Amino acid sequence: MPLVRLDAEDDSDGWRAAARALALAEIPPDRISWQVGDAPADLFADAPGPLPPPVAGAQFGVPRRFVDLAESVILHSDPQRFSLLYAMLMRLRREPGLIGDEADPLLRRLEDLAKSVRRDIHKMRAFLRFREAPDDDGEPRFIAWFEPEHHILRANAGFFVRRFATMRWSILTPRGSLHWDGDTVLEGPPASREDAPEGDPIEAVWKTYYGSTFNPARLKIDMMTKEMPRKYWKNMPETALVPGLIAAAQRRESQMIATAHAAPPVHANAAKALEALREEGAHCTRCPLWKPATQTVFGEGPADARLMFVGEQPGDQEDLAGHPFVGPAGQLFDRALAEAGVDRAAAYVTNAVKHFKFERRGKRRIHERPNAGEITACRWWIDQERQIVKPALTVALGATAAHSLLGKAVTLSKLRGAPIALPDGSEGWVTVHPSFLLRLPDEARRAEEYAAFVTDLRRIGERVAALA
């Protein structure tokens, strides 16, 4: 059995020369034994001898695709690759077009080997990590330790030269090493991991980036390991973070579920954000109400208030003063709050609509109810106030406020007196607007409704305390 000795695992020129000579001499595939360097030969192989003498004038061509395929396959670590390729070559001599028969089992096997090599080449380009270390002359050199699966080191050198041409670098692998000085690639012997330096300070910065760019809401561990198999992890600094990131994501998620309705944290920025919003609101022209009104009457109160009251819209006095709930209804509201034992100073008080809408009758400006379009236009502001303040409980005073809070017209009497779950997870309540009490002509009815209003406020106060 003829024995062919190749110079190196990736000696594709050697294989081609030998394969051509053997094929011309019509030596069948199963009669040849392929060996690399001094590796022990097949038990039944002959001693390496000269290749068959060249056949005079004999030439044969193979399809370009086979040449490319062979170049990739030879880099594979499967020892059978040489004879598989030779078998394919023998078949293609008779019928070169067979290279197009994609379903052929031998071609598929070779394609699979080539694919695995291409993947290994790609992963080396992706996952190799340089560390900076000073050279003998004090100049920086970038050194990487990588463990390829196949014999791809030499074939992959060009990529690193093209990319890092002006850097000095070394790539160390168990199969050999490459050294670039800005001019030529020198090949070196196999290395071990200890030959590569440790501790590049940029590694910590890179890990910071890796940890921050991960979105814990989208855990997809299978996707990650499919593209970045664990065998590469040990030489990639950032992968040390993976178990921690996964564990923390799951922990944060279960904590979030457990505390979904607990009080949100109070943020120092809220007051600033609210101030900016107020400033912006002063120039609001989202609906035509800004034209006749004197000014925007924005909400007031602590930015971290746990309780928010939403009224309908500013009245005549509020419009002039620029503050919510300062007119007759506001005074009644204050009295009711005091009786109910609710501290107004701790609550955020605002209106569903921020501009005074009125009808002029002689010298008086008579309040006019805002329509659905105006309520919707102004929801922009109230939504943002609620997002910043994040009250645990929001009270809509009157039907207009309830419309704004719930996004649709509702019947007050049906919803009054019970908590309503709001989409953001907080709680909503509805009750009457204090101006409704002022408008009741019948004294007895007024006293009755006032008492009911105070009762509502008391329950709301208790509920806020309970939510704390």
Partner 1 sequence: MAQLDVREKLEILADAAKYDASCASSGTAKRSSAGQKDGIGSTEGMGICHAYAPDGRCISLLKILLTNSCIFDCHYCINRKSSNVRRARFTAKEVVDLTLAFYRRNYIEGLFLSSGIIRSSDYTMEQIVEVARSLREDHGFRGYIHLKTIPDADPLLLEAAGRHADRLSINIELPTVAGLARLAPEKDSTRIEGAMGALKSSIEDGRDAVKRYRSAPSFAPAGQSTQMIVGADAATDRDIVGRAASLYDRHQLRRVYYSAFSPIPDASTVLPLKRPPLMREHRLYQSDWMMRFYGYRPQEIAAAADPASGMLPLDIDPKLAWALRFRESFPVDVNRAPREALLRVPGLGVKAVDAILATRRWRRLRLEDVARLTRGIAKLRPFLIAADWRPVALADSADPLPQAAAPREQLELFAA
* Contacts of 212 by beta carbon, 8 Å cutoff, 6+ apart: none
* Contacts of 401 by beta carbon, 8 Å cutoff, 6+ apart: 310, 311, 312, 351, 352, 430, 433
Residue number with CB closer to partner 1 (387 or 411):
387
Residue number with CB closer to partner 1 (321 or 406):
406
Q: Which of 104, 81, 108 is nearest to 19 (CA)?
A: 81
Residue number with CB closer to partner 1 (130 or 453):
130
Minimum distance between the CB of residue 142 and partner 1, rounded to whole angstroms?
Answer: 6
Minimum distance between the CB of residue 423 and partner 1, rounded to whole angstroms?
Answer: 6
Minimum distance between the CB of residue 157 and partner 1, rounded to whole angstroms?
Answer: 11
CA distance 44 to 92: 27
Residue number with CB closer to partner 1 (121 or 460):
121
Chain CA centroid to CA 189, Å: 42
Residue number with CB closer to partner 1 (7 or 254):
254
CA distance 35 to 42: 8
Minimum distance between the CB of residue 15 and partner 1, rounded to whole angstroms?
Answer: 26
Q: How many residues does this entry show for the chain?
A: 468
What sign results for the dihedral spanned by CA atoms 29, 31, 35, 41?
positive
CA distance 193 to 179: 16
- Return the structure tokens found at 199: 């501790």
- Return the structure tokens found at 225: 């390991």
Minimum distance between the CB of residue 349 and partner 1, rounded to whole angstroms?
Answer: 19
CA distance 148 to 12: 18
Residue number with CB closer to partner 1 (117 or 454):
117
Cα-based angle 42, 176, 231 (whole degrees, multiple of 5): 90
Residue number with CB closer to partner 1 (162 or 291):
162
Q: Which of 384, 466, 387 is nearest to 425 (CA)?
A: 387
- Count of beta carbons in the 10 Å neighbourhood of residue 60: 11
CA distance 405 to 348: 15
Minimum distance between the CB of residue 356 and partner 1, rounded to whole angstroms?
Answer: 23
Residue number with CB closer to partner 1 (161 or 420):
161
Minimum distance between the CB of residue 134 and partner 1, rounded to whole angstroms?
Answer: 14
Minimum distance between the CB of residue 191 and partner 1, rounded to whole angstroms?
Answer: 18
Q: Which helix (H) or strand (E) holds 226?
A: helix 221-227
